[in-house]
Amino acid sequence: MKQHKITSICAALLLTLFSSAALAANDGSTDTDSRIVDAKVVEVSDARISVIAQTGVEHVIAINESGTKVSVSGRAISLKDVREGDIITVELDADSPVKLARNIAISNNSQIARSRR
């Protein structure tokens, strides 16, 4: 009987660990091939931005004035408002042969830090 309880507890722990790992993988907070989440902007120019992903890898991403949409809390802003140090989430154009930003969402934390300067 004691061994059955221990086995049941171990099985419950394993099930809990695997289910929480599966939920964490689907919460949208991780990078994918078409999305870079919570990356820090390190360089901005008219044609591209350079970001450091959470993994520490630098990505150079093409931007297009007419094709790249930028927003803060769902409110559209100008592409020129993206600055070094901003924390952004970038959705890439899957059809483009280069890394082309389709949507850029600036984190609210970046806006708060920017207004304090």
Confidence band of 1 (pLDDT split at 50, 70, 90): confident
Is 116's pLDDT higher than 70? Answer: no
- Residue 5: per-residue pLDDT: 83
Is pTM beyond 0.85? Reply is no
Domain over 35-116 is classified CATH 1.10.10: no
Nearest-angstrom CA–CA distance, 52 and 36: 9
pLDDT value at 117 more than 50: no
